[in-house]
């Protein structure tokens, strides 16, 4: 099994979408440009969603157009429907992510659609993307628990993941939206999904609400996953998932992976500097233990 892990950095999108104070586009552009210099290969840049639903990312087109596109780095953006896909394409996006959930009530709260309706909305997106050579990633939210429903049957996660993959998503990210999962559960869900979708086409996306994210990632690495979503400074959270806190901090994931002899291609010092800079911009302490350890005297 390969020792290389690809980190999907989601701070510019997941990390910022829940911030109440609107950040100017320049700060977002600076964040993405700094991340691009760290060795990251995938940076989820913004969301082309309704500005009424996520005001923080209303500047998506401006930000996307203005960032420095470093060769070898991909800059996927979130789209909930065909309208978002078209606007993203006009701004120059050539990779997009669609998102749905394994539980109905959360999906309704997040994108005002049932799971089936959301998949129907993705169909034209996947078709246009295929015709235009655009890669599409898929997210399955609430894979380890739902803020409304509580437990989510593993079979429901598997069936939504399978639908996304069958529709043409090249990668499916299994998400613990509210950070309630524990390692055995995370591993069991990933294992079940990997019976239907090849492991190389799977990613894990864990929020750290209960402090379990690194342990969950380790369990999933042991199970074979090699793509991990994370956000510098542990930023993040879905505005429509009550109780959700930040993503696992990229600095902490990279520190763990390098300590295990795994390769990410990322310069940890630059990642730490970027995380510390971002927490300064947001005027809140970093949630990364590594950044805390390295930047406090
Ligand atoms: P709706 O109100 O049901 O949609 O929202 P609608 O089709 O009736 O449209 C309403 C208005 O939105 C219309 O404008 C549309 O033009 C506009 P109006 O005529 O009222 O002026 N609109 C759009 N504008 C810009 N871009 C678009 C777009 N689509 C419609 N793409 C909708 C449905 C999906 C639009 C809305 O619910 C929405 O934008 N939701 C996004 C919620 C969101 O971004 N959540 C956070 C990301 S998901 C997440 O964080 C989880 C993840 O990290 C994994 C995990 O941790 O679980 C990925
Ligand atoms: Mg998330």
Q: Does residue 296 carry a pLDDT above 90?
A: no
Q: Catalogue the active-site residues.
A: 238
Are the C-beta atoms of 177 and 208 separated by less than 8 Å? no
Q: Ligand 1 centre from 77 Cα, in Å? A: 13
Over range 97-113, report the average pLDDT. Answer: 97
Q: Does residue 297 carry a pLDDT above 60?
A: no
pLDDT tens digits along 26-55: 999 999 999 999 999 999 999 999 999 999
User: Which ipTM did the prediction report?
Assistant: 0.98
Percent of the chain residues past pLDDT 90, beyond the cut: 96
Over range 185-197, report the average pLDDT. Answer: 98
Give me the pLDDT at residue 1, please. 79
Over range 98-103, report the average pLDDT. Answer: 98
pTM for this structure? 0.98
Over range 144-170, report the average pLDDT. Answer: 97
Give me the pLDDT at residue 52, please. 96
Q: Ligand 2 centre from 244 Cα, in Å? A: 9
List of long-range contacts for 200-203, beta carbons under 8 Å, 24+ apart: 200/226, 201/165, 201/170, 201/171, 201/172, 202/161, 202/171, 202/172, 202/173, 202/174, 202/227, 203/8, 203/137, 203/171, 203/172, 203/173, 203/174, 203/227, 203/228, 203/229
Top mutation candidate among 8, 11, 13, 49 for ligand 1, by most atoms within 8 Å of CB = 49
Ligand 1 lining (C-beta closer than 6 Å): 14, 17, 47-50, 53-54, 78, 80-81, 83-84, 87, 99, 110-112, 139, 141, 175, 177, 205, 207, 238, 240
Over range 177-192, report the average pLDDT. Answer: 98
Q: How far apart are CA 214 and CA 208, in angstroms?
A: 8
């Amino acid at each position: 099994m390969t020792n290389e892990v690809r980190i999907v950095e989601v701070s510019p999108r997941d990390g910022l979408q829940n911030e109440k104070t609107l950040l100017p586009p320049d700060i977002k552009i600076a964040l993405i440009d700094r991340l691009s210099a760290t060795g990251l290969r995938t940076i989820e840049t913004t969301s082309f969603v309704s500005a009424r639903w996520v005001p923080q990312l209303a500047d998506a087109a401006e930000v996307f157009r203005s960032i420095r596109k470093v060769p070898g780095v991909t800059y996927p953006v979130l789209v909930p429907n065909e309208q978002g896909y078209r606007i993203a394409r006009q701004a120059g996006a050539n990779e997009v992510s669609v998102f749905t959930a394994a539980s109905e009530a959360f999906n309704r709260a997040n994108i005002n659609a049932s799971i089936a309706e959301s998949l129907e909305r993705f169909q034209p997106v996947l078709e246009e993307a295929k015709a235009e050579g655009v890669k599409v990633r898929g997210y399955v939210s609430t894979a380890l628990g739902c803020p409304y429903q509580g437990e989510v049957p593993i079979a429901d996660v598997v069936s939504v993941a399978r639908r996304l993959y069958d529709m043409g998503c090249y990668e499916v990210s299994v998400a613990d939206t509210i950070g309630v999962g524990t390692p055995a559960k995370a591993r069991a869900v990933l294992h079940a999904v990997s019976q239907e979708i090849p492991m190389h086409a799977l990613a894990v996306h864990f929020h750290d609400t209960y402090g379990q994210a690194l342990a969950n990632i380790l369990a999933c690495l042991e199970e074979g996953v090699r793509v991990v979503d994370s956000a510098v400074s542990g930023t993040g959270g879905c505005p429509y998932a009550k109780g959700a806190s930040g993503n696992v901090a990229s600095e902490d994931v990279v520190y763990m992976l390098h300590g295990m002899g795994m390769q990410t291609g990322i310069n940890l010092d630059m990642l730490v500097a970027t995380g510390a800079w971002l927490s300064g911009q947001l005027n809140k302490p970093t949630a990364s233990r590594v950044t805390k350890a390295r930047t406090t005297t």
